Amino acid sequence: MITPRLEMILRHISGKSCADIGTDHAYVPIKLWERGIKVIATDIMPGPLKIAAENVKKQGADIELRLGGGLSPIKKGEVDTVIIAGMGGEMIEKILSDDADKTDGVTFILQPMNRQYELRKFLLENGFYIMEEDLAQEGFKVYNLIVATKDVAKSGQALSYNNEIEFHLPASLKNHSCFEALLNKKKREFSKILSGLKKSKDANLDEIKKLGELLLEIDKIEE
């Protein structure tokens, strides 16, 4: 089943070969194969990979399935695009760090389920350029997508993040149809954290001030 979250991933893939890390049901690889793209689907757990294999067989798709975590099942230079979706931002950072030698010349389609702010910072601090951002909404949930590469030739078209609030709410997304939902989500998150900090006996005054400033920035955006 191709949901809005998965459809968003498919929209951003234009290469000739792709690896889907943590493929789960292999829905995205099957759609890519239908478009004539060479696909490798991986998963760290045998269970999900078995389900993926059943779906691939059912569709008669020519997709190679590999067991393993992160980028370990993929050879250096084997694909031009890598999808890492449906996992936390911290895990995505670990995957990119553990096999940093495999990240050159690859376009990464990243869909962090949390810690998007930290992931953007990590990417820019580790030689990546963020080329595009996108959003999708399913019910009350808002999903982020980040397209990143280390290709210096593309650095001139990379997105920029000019202040702290833009690492949470990228300027490139302000005209997106889902931006208001993302804005409201961030406002709820900041307000909840700020409320908890204010009730704490060991309140971090610097953190309280920072969150207050971020909420003020959100108010300005809403205006």
Global pTM reads 0.95
What is the predicted pLDDT for the residue at 186? 96
Q: What is the DSSP string of the chain?
A: ---HHHHHHHHT--SSEEEEET-TT-HHHHHHHHTT-EEEEEESSHHHHHHHHHHHHHHT---EEEE-STTTTSPTTS-SEEEEEEE-HHHHHHHHHHTGGG-TT-EEEEEESS-HHHHHHHHHHTT-EEEEEEEEEETTEEEEEEEEE--GGGGGG-----SHHHHHS-GGGTTSTTHHHHHHHHHHHHHHHHHHHHH-TT--HHHHHHHHHHHHHHHHHH-
160-223 to CATH, choices 2.60.120, 1.10.287, 2.30.30, 1.10.3470: 1.10.287
The answer for residues whose C-beta is within 8 angstroms of residue 135's C-beta and 6 or more apart is: 8, 142, 143, 144, 145, 173, 176, 177, 178, 179, 181, 182
> What does the pLDDT look like over 42-74, one tens digit per residue?
999 999 999 999 999 999 999 999 999 999 999
Fold of 4-158: Rossmann fold (3.40.50)
Q: Give the pLDDT score at 197.
A: 87
pLDDT for 201 equals 78
Q: Mark 118-145 as b/e (b = at least 16 C-beta within 10 Å).
A: bbbebbbeeebbbbbbbbbbeeeebbbb
Which of these ranges, 22-26, 77-81, 201-205, 214-218, has the smallest mean pLDDT? 201-205
| pLDDT tens digits, one per residue of 172-184 | 999 999 999 999 9
pLDDT digits (tens, 9 = 90+) for 90-138: 999 999 999 999 999 999 999 999 999 999 999 999 999 999 999 999 9
Q: If you count them, how many residues does the chain have?
A: 223
Is 80 exceeded by the pLDDT of residue 1?
no
Cα(204)–Cα(208) distance, integer angstroms: 6
Q: Where are the domains of the chain?
A: 4-158, 160-223
- Tell me the two tokens of residue 30: 């099957």
Q: Would you state the structure tokens that stand for residue 117, as one six-digit string?
A: 């702010």
Average pLDDT on 185-192 reads 95
